[in-house]
Amino acid sequence: MKLCLVEDDLDLGRSLQLALREGGYEVLWVRRASDARYWVEMGGVDALLLDLGLPDANGMDLLRVLRGLKPELPILVITARDAIEDRLSGLDGGADDYLVKPFVPSELMARLRAVLRRSGGLLRSIAPAQWQVREIWLDTQRRRVKRGEEELRLTRTEFDLLLALMQQADRLVSRRELVERALPGTQAQTLDIHISNLRKKLGEGYIHTIRGVGFMMECEAPA
């Protein structure tokens, strides 16, 4: 598996590259936002580790651009910004997980495994391949989602959350189950951010909140 590491600090970049290679990953290390965008557009990487503090671009802006280019690409943000507002902004901007410096290599590897597990491990055992609730259509094999004739661009986490809800349409899906299905290894409070982003893309009337308990995908439009 080929990872793109976007880190401008030479010492940290070298240590991360070494740790990732020892973990069995092929690592493409770049230090500039323009290089990261080039390789993502080329489609030659399977996941992205992105430091938000880059010399040639605003990291949050770059995150949104890369997420727009490749909605399905697993992205793990690594940064020194530890304020809760920064973490929420990173997740809202399209990150699948957020790791604050300083961290030990074992934590990075565990977070990376969790992100990759969410991106591919869940769907291999699911059948049937297609699901539909009202105007929302989801194809697990092609990882495509449509609302009517409009194709929706979802992140991997949003896709996995939607799949979990559609598989149990008109039934309550607990917060705990959704975290285990789509967000293993991350903080549970990030679930609300991903659900909010998903709800905006689907439109009103599809996802019903049972406060403090969970969520439900409604088969009939609310009156």
HEC readout, 105-139? HHHHHHHHHHHHHHHHHCHHHCCCCEEEECCEEEE
119: pLDDT confidence band, cut at 50, 70 and 90?
Answer: low
pLDDT at 6: 95
pLDDT at 158: 93
pLDDT averaged over every residue in the chain: 84
For residues 55-66, average pLDDT: 88
pLDDT at 121: 37
pTM surpassing 0.95?
A: no
pLDDT > 70: percent of the chain: 90
Where along the chain do its domains lie?
2-121, 123-217
Distance, CA of 19 to chain centre: 22
pLDDT tens across 87-96, in order? Answer: 677 777 788 8
Strand order in the sheet with 144-147: 130-133, 136-139, 144-147, 150-152
pLDDT at 161: 93
pLDDT at 122: 33
For residues 29-57, average pLDDT: 88
- SS (HEC) of 59-121: HHHHHHHHHHHCCCCCEEEEECCCCHHHHHHHHHCCCCEEEECCCCHHHHHHHHHHHHHHHHH
Q: Does domain 2-121 have CATH number 3.40.50.2300?
A: yes
Report the distance separating Cα 27 and Cα 12, nearest Å.
14
For residues 57-62, average pLDDT: 88
pLDDT at 201: 95
Token couple for 196: 């909010």
Which residue did the predictor score with more confidence, 141 or 62? Answer: 62
Report the distance separating Cα 35 and Cα 42, nearest Å.
11
Which class is 123-217 in CATH? mainly alpha
pLDDT tens across 165-188, in order? Answer: 998 888 888 888 898 888 876 666
